[in-house]
Amino acid sequence: MKRFEFSRILNFNIEESLTKMDIYIGKELKEKTGQILFFTLILFIPSFTIRVIGIILLCSAMLVNDILTLSVKRCF
């Protein structure tokens, strides 16, 4: 019985796409690990106000990093 291949029909190589995603996720984790750990430690402080500030800082830092990455990608 012949195996059905999506890559031939859709002109889409799954292995190539997965390796590109692995590289992208690895790069993003290397860049953001320090920030994520720092802000996660802030969330362990029992004060509610400090937790809220930590969540806001975490979201804003990740958002700024993503915007900078997007603008750099558009330049190339």
pLDDT in tens, 19-65: 777 888 888 888 788 888 888 888 888 889 988 988 898 888 888 87
pTM: 0.51
23 is a domain residue: yes
Q: Which residues are CB-contacts of 30 (< 8 A; sequence separation ≥ 6)?
A: none
66 inside domain = yes
Q: Is residue 65 part of a domain?
A: yes
For 47-58, give one letter per residue: b (16+ CB within 10 A) or e. eeeeeeebeeeb
Residue 50 lies in a domain: yes
Res 37: pLDDT: 86
Give the rounded distance of the alpha carbon of 13 from its chain centre: 22
Q: Tell me: pLDDT of 5 over 60.
A: no
The structural domain count of the chain equals 1
pLDDT of residue 3: 57
Find tokens 């190339």 and name the residue: 76
Q: Which domain holds residue 56?
A: 11-75
